[in-house]
Structure 1
């Protein structure tokens, strides 16, 4: 530090460096591009420091951005990023972004106003081991005031289709059905639909005995059932103001779904036969519709699984239904959206029906049906996760592995002339039993050594371990107080433990280095809406939350700037945060 001060004293007697000598570039941009009198926005000052140089950070008192004293605008305090500490002290390298909020006077006249900001900095040449004296550069941007509404920020998730859907709905155009169908097709490629894939293969594959044609027809009826459930729940959510998907994630509903899949799996294993009353069965058999009715009923249950899937298009539909009150048209739009999701299931169901026609012997068919039965039992355990504690959930999987290994022949004696397939099956069964037994022993010992706290079995919902959210706040008042004192906007992430896309954001987007860097310009806040109670309903109504995840950016006065729904990859979230 003393060396640095000495160099500074020496360089005070020399002329300051030209901007071209250090190569530091300063830019400023205001956003949105046009605002109305009384509204506000943000100015972002970007400083690009070339390799081999650094500038002292704001904590050293040698870097600042000073807005003008302007009668038209009121400026907030600049939000400075933290520097990196090394032998030079706390410094900036590379690209630095400083943002400050502004608000226009309500009586300001329309026009284009230049805004000049003073940027004071001290550049240092690391190669020459030399720090230049602090200097001030002036950077200019313009802000347009107009009584016309400011242009809307482009949706970061490819909002062109969302905008077209909104326009089509307002015009009453039939193209709205095409847009929602395509939106459902895109939603089918997201992780929230993944649990439906094994269900579809198991259900259609077990019933399709006529090859691809039978599998295709059964898949159509299966998706019909999914669409009925999805559309009904969507209309109910839009008309009542409830969170879409929240009802089906209640522990009781999850337990019922798990019980249904468990019974279906046991039936496929031959434990018992699930069938309709004989009079109904005779009528259906005579008309050859028994399997189709079963596919519809199974699809209705499966629709409870896919209902938490939320996308921007779905939010537009639900919002429009809530505003217009048109239940019939809303049901039709949601029905089209569900059929878009169902395209994937139709493809899977069509080709899973081929499985039972490939082998010509009855033994292979029985093996395939039993495999589907075990898949459904495994899914039943998976759906019990929100109901069970971590200990009991682990115990359930351990018991499942022991039972599966036993049925696989882990305890069965081998004849002397046993084939290599029989020996391989016995080895696999033994390994499954060993894995399950190990899980049981470790779970019991761990429970005795470290007794668990009250578990979610009482009605709460557990979630997998989340990434580090140490920088995120959880209290609204604290967040907006920080926003007012720093001039930064508040970014709210509304999430729930039952929301698959929320977990995807937590695992893939928020920990991304580029996203974490962009979050330095906002006050990040997470609000948990897992529980449905008076508090969550009030928050949901206040922020107009239809489904989750929903991420909303607001200024310090709680005025919304923009939002997005559903999962977005890191690069799109960065654009969302940096767009003005």
Structure 2
């Protein structure tokens, strides 16, 4: 039978299926497609076309040869002078089964997820626009849906052709992981100065004096790294990237983080000690006594357990920060840095016991390190409590109140460094060290810097930690950076909620677009969040600049969409996302889904210049702390609009 006849016959069958009960129950396409481009060998590029298939469904192989049955998957790349298609689309080995309904022919198919790859060679050094039509059928054990054709457009930019926005987005991702690693490294070095860890050094040296050697010392260091990185990976794999990203915008989770930091701070300040059950330590000690690889590994495990009362708060803080970063590699990178810093000194002391003689004797200075960490933990705890307050708009920790609490914390910190506050009986009450005096000068200088913030000063050094500038007890009547008269004044009833830097803005997309059409101005979509640290940094340090402020207020209609707004949507406005399938119940869910569906990203801040039809004017940007670069981004949008 010809292909045309086969298609007609099968289409008739499908028309009948439309009227069956099972087919009527279908609500959405069970197959989703993701695309990407990566560098292959030489000049070759690999176009990845990945199908994600719901449980109970499958799509067919390109080489499915069942006559009068389900059609194969077909990829049709549009001909272009920009590139050459090399060979056929490749696919992994498909599943197969005998289909009795089709005269025992063999069906070749894929379930769950499958990636197809097409090789191409660029003919130009400029950006490539690649278009491909994917025709496929989604089938279950009882039926097949009509053939679907998904038209996909991909844009590939060589490294030299990347715009500043692209480079910024890449550098932010790399920088985030880098900072998490450095944060872990710093945490590991701080942990070395705590009493629990410091006291383990002589015990370690004693153990390796009997079971010594550089090889075993290296093995000991590797064991420490493996133990801590495994902890980070376990958290990563358990929560997953989406859940990690959601932590930053979940009010209840941030409240839990606040309580965790508060407990850690009180522990460091000496209110109580966090310890593990003694039975765990005893079992670990017995295993360490066995010697060999197992003994060395459990010696490292014993270090992790014994030092938990001091490293626990540091590790907990590190994992919280890494989780909030939203990157799946964050916790692993942070724990690797922490373990590396912790393991290297132990490895050196284990390999060269004579180095122990050069160490300072343990004493009250170790307790002082713990108290210092306690003050810092207490200050950081307020950030999470502030996020909880912001997400639910409770209003109990507005900007002035937050600053006042920080002033009290850091003033107490300064007095402690001067020796005027004491948390342990053994601490000196008479003499102040030079280092203590210098530290107190730095701390009190920061306190003096914070004080004007109570009356509206920007306090840029603390941006990202403080609540937004508009979330305060009293409001200024004049803009922060009013260097030009606004020609974009929005009627008060249009923006009941306050806007960053006293700018005019909307918080509803449709209202903002309608106003932009009326004013004939481009739109800046500001995807932001109450809990977004980098959003606050952009608002405080970049939007406050007169040049940027003037462009935002006069040349654009600003629409700030908070993806973590917990305000419930009316019942008749709630819906299921076409992208994720999740129920959209809140205003924040709505804007997050809008960003994900239209712009294929869910990170904040994210700035998109669009026209009154919602079409992008040029490449969006994410976090961009350079004022001139961000101003140029805004200017380009205005010129494109004109």
TM-score normalised to the size of structure 2?
A: 0.45
Higher RCO (CA-CA < 8 Å; seq separation 6+): 1
TM-score normalised to the size of structure 1?
A: 0.49
